[in-house]
């Protein structure tokens, strides 16, 4: 029979720090955060930046991912930011944006468990976009302030999420194309010190043949190996604009891709471009993947769509996100309180449906429209 002395002796037994960390690394972020209140040593251990970095590395290797979702409710005219398990199921409400509009342009980019979400009015020169950085794992949200040192004048703005692997810094790149005077401003916001920094015009080397006021800013970008990539259109070809965070230099390289309705994505750690025009006529999309930047080696693949899916969704169908070998598409169907999203498997070359269950906070699910959906890795990166 166990005595009080036995219990006292067992209570004094402590595990080595390495074993405690190994156990913590295997737990969900929500559980780990609760353990901060166990003791001061545990608080110190869990709050250490090296623990956060190693936890992210382990989570990425174990492929512990979930989904960030942006949806607009026509009945309340509000936009909701949600999260859900990677294989669907109930959604978790993160925040609600009031004064939203169904025609608002939304963009979402993710890096290391953080999501950059942008919401802007169409035809408004993008000067007053709402920009948020969200950690869905910790339910932390940071609203980006607009830099107060910009020169007067309207201009088209694009926000890009970036990560400098050399300095281990998350950054937000803001490019602003002005019509008068014709110039392009480049600003960088660092999540390390929460401040804007303007890139000096003399530090920005504009690519040959591209004048400062003639950079075409398109929607969407991806960060690969500390370089932000976005597309630029010309009359005969599609070009890629690159901004290297390490050197803070711009460059452009051409592609064999004919300009179409396209979006840029990160596909298995590489830059990819998916063209989604003429879907109804051909039942397929063209997908290009950059395998070697130095020699400009691109590999082309096709995604074929069953006629039944096109008839169900219509011609407005474009990719939103890629995770390993799965591509999530934009169109969603609501039945009851269940929202279904089509996913294409690149290995098996077939479609499946991912289903989300909307909660009680959405009394009329049929009025919900999905705008963005992104995978993210479970992360404790602070905001």
The series of mean pLDDT values per 10 residues for the chain, 383 residues long, is 50 69 86 89 89 91 90 84 90 82 78 92 64 93 81 72 95 81 80 89 52 61 94 74 90 80 87 76 82 88 78 62 82 76 87 85 74 90 90
Residue that has been written with the tokens 């869990």 in this structure: 46
Q: So what's the pLDDT on residue 4?
A: 47
Amino acid 290: pLDDT: 93
**Which pTM was predicted?**
0.87
Whole-number pLDDT of residue 67? 92
What pLDDT, on a 0 to 100 scale, did the predictor assign at position 7?
Answer: 46
Q: Yes or no: say if 312 and 333 are a contact pair by the CB < 8 Å rule.
A: yes
> For position 51, what pLDDT does the model report?
92
Give the pairing type, strands 114-120 and 105-111. Answer: antiparallel
Identify any residues that bridge with 105 across adjacent strands, giving them in sequence order: 120
Output the pLDDT for position 224: 95
pLDDT given for residue 203 in this prediction: 47
Indicate the pairing of strand 350-357 with strand 89-97.
Answer: parallel
Structure tokens at 7: 């219990």
Q: Whose CA is closest to 71, among 62, 61, 81, 57?
A: 81
What is the per-residue pLDDT for 56? 92
Structure tokens at 333: 């169907």
DSSP helix/strand/coil, 277: coil
């Amino acid at each position: 029979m166990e005595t009080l002395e036995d219990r006292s002796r067992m209570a004094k037994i402590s595990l080595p720090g390495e074993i405690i960390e190994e156990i913590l690394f295997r737990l969900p972020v929500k559980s780990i955060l609760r353990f901060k209140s166990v003791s001061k040593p545990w608080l110190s251990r869990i709050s250490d930046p090296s623990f956060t970095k190693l936890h992210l590395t382990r989570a990425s290797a174990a492929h512990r991912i979930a989904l960030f979702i942006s949806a607009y409710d026509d009945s309340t005219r509000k936009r909701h930011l949600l999260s859900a398990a990677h294989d669907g199921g109930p959604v978790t409400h993160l925040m609600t944006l009031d004064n939203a509009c169904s025609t608002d342009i939304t963009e979402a980019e993710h890096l290391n468990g953080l999501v950059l979400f942008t919401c802007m009015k169409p035809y408004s020169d993008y000067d007053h976009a709402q920009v948020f950085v969200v950690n869905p794992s910790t339910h932390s949200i940071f609203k980006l302030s607009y830099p107060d040192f910009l020169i007067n004048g309207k201009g088209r703005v694009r926000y890009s999420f970036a990560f400098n692997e050399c300095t281990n810094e998350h950054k937000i790149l803001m490019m602003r194309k002005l019509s008068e005077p014709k110039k392009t401003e480049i600003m960088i916001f660092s999540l390390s010190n929460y401040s804007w920094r303007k890139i000096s015009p003399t530090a920005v080397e504009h690519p040959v043949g591209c004048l400062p006021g003639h950079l075409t800013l398109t929607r969407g970008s991806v960060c690969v190996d500390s370089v932000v990539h976005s597309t630029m259109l010309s009359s005969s070809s599609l070009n890629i604009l690159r901004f290297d965070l390490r050197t803070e230099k711009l460059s452009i390289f051409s592609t064999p891709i004919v300009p179409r309705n396209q979006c840029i994505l990160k596909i298995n750690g590489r830059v990819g471009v998916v063209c989604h025009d003429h879907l109804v006529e051909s039942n397929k999309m063209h997908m290009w993947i950059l395998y070697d930047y130095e020699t400009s080696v691109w590999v082309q693949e096709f995604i074929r769509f069953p006629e039944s899916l096109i008839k169900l969704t219509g011609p407005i169908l474009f990719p939103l996100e890629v995770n390993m070998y799965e591509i999530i598409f934009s169109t969603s169907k609501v039945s009851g309180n269940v929202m279904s999203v089509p996913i294409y498997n690149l290995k098996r070359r077939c479609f499946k449906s991912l289903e989300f269950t909307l909660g009680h906070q959405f009394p009329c699910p049929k009025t919900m429209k999905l705008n963005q959906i992104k995978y993210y890795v479970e992360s404790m990166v602070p905001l």
